[in-house]
Each structure stands twice: as structure tokens, then as C-alpha cells.
Amino acid sequence: MDAEQIEKIEQIAGDYKDKPEQLMRLLLEIQAIAGNAVPNEVAVIVSRVTGIPKSRIYGYITFYAMFDNKPRGKYIIRICKSAPCFICGAQSVVDAISEELDIEPGETTKDQLFTFEFCECIGLCDVSPVIMINEKIYGNLDPEKARSVIRQYKEGEVE
């Protein structure tokens, strides 16, 4: 982490100094500039600047699925692992994405572009199987549609 990133993290954390009830929002902002993660060194900075106990910060990072303490890819691909998605063919979508990116769920590509992970219900069972890439939803997927979506991101057609 370079000095510029640390300064930015301190600035953002300072904006939340007297707002401990906004910890989730703070951590979402922080992870956007810290490699889609809140590493331990960043949690220490946030705690120092805001006065929020490190244990509370670590609790959020380890409990909520949208956080991680190790760097993740620019694009986080989440696939729903609930029963409706799997009944509708999610495993074939998992296999297609794994093959396209040469990684398994829980891994990040070598170029740090993609992280692929399972998540709980996305809440769109009527268009399952579903993936979410960062905040964008893709439903009614089959293996070929999933590959096509991933290729669009690889080729920079989607931001």
C-alpha cells in the first residue's frame, strides 16, 4: 500500500470519525480503493482514525460476505449457491466460468482482474441461475451466456 492510498484511507475514515453506526458504508468506501478488500493494515488505520475498536471492524470484515481481508480482483463474480439456482443449472454456469477464467470459486485470476465466489441468495430466483459482477446482475444464464458475459469484461466492453 503506497502513501497516497494510506492518505486517502485516512481522509475517508476521518469523514466517519463520529459516525460509528456508518461502519459498513465506511468499509465499502475504503475497500473500493484498497483492492476490493480491507486488509488488516487498513483496519488498523480505520480504527486509529475513527476510534472504532479493531474487534468491531474485524467482525464486519469476517461476517459480511461483501468484505474480505485479502485483495480480490477488480471484478468480483458472485454466483448464487441457493437451491433454486442450482436446480435451474447453476453448476453448469459455475463450470463454464471456472473454465473461462481458469479458476475455481474462492480464487482470483493471476492478473487480479476477476475473483469468483459463491454467495447466498441474490434474491432473483425467478431469473435463476444468477451471477452478480460487482453490482451488476445477470440472470437466466446458461454456460454460453455466462462465457459471453465474462468475455465482455475481459475485453473491456463492460465497466
Q: What is the pLDDT of residue 34?
A: 86
Answer yes or no: do 92 and 145 share one domain: yes
Residue span of the structural domain in which 82 resides: 75-154
Angstrom distance (rounded) from CA 109 to CA 52: 33
Mean pLDDT for the stretch of residues 37-65: 94
Compute the chain's Rg from CA coordinates: 17
Examine residue 138 and state whether it is found in any structural domain, yes or no.
Answer: yes
Query: DSSP readout, 123-156?
Result: S-GGG-S-EEETTEEE-S--HHHHHHHHHHHHTT
Q: Indicate if 146 and 111 belong to the same structural domain.
A: yes
Beta strands 114-119 and 107-108 are antiparallel
Is 103 among the domain residues?
A: yes
The Cβ of residue 54 has, within 10 Å, a number of other Cβ atoms equal to 13
Residue 80 sits in the same domain as residue 150? yes
Residue 70 has a pLDDT of 86
In a domain, 21, yes or no: yes
pLDDT of residue 23: 96
- Does a structural domain hold residue 9? yes
**94 shares a domain with 38:** no
Both 121 and 90 in one domain: the answer is yes
55 and 115 belong to one structural domain: no
pTM, to two decimals: 0.77
Number of domains composing the chain:
2
- Looking at the fold, whether 57 and 82 belong to one and the same domain comes out as no
Residues 15 and 55 in one domain: yes
- What dihedral angle (degrees, nearest 10) is formed by the CA atoms of 15, 113, 152, 133? -50
Domain co-membership, 82 together with 149:
yes
pLDDT surpasses 80 at 1: no
Asked if the structure places residue 123 within a domain, the reply is: yes
